[in-house]
Amino acid sequence: MSAATPLRLELSPCPVLAAVIFGAHLAAAACVLLAYPRLEGLALAALLAALGAVAASNRALLLGRRAPRVIEIAPSGEARLERADGLQATALPVRGIGVTRWWVVLRLGRPGRGGFLVSAGMLPSEPFRRLRLWALWEKAPGVAPGQLPG
Short-list 119, 74, 68, CA closest to 89:
68
pLDDT value at position 9? Answer: 94
pLDDT in tens, 8-46: 999 999 999 999 999 999 999 999 999 999 999 999 999
Chain segment 78-121, per-residue pLDDT in tens: 999 998 998 888 999 988 888 999 999 999 876 666 888 999 99
Q: What is the pLDDT of residue 145?
A: 59
Residue 47: pLDDT band with limits 50, 70, 90: very high
What gap in Å lies between CA 141 and CA 146, rounded to an integer? Answer: 15
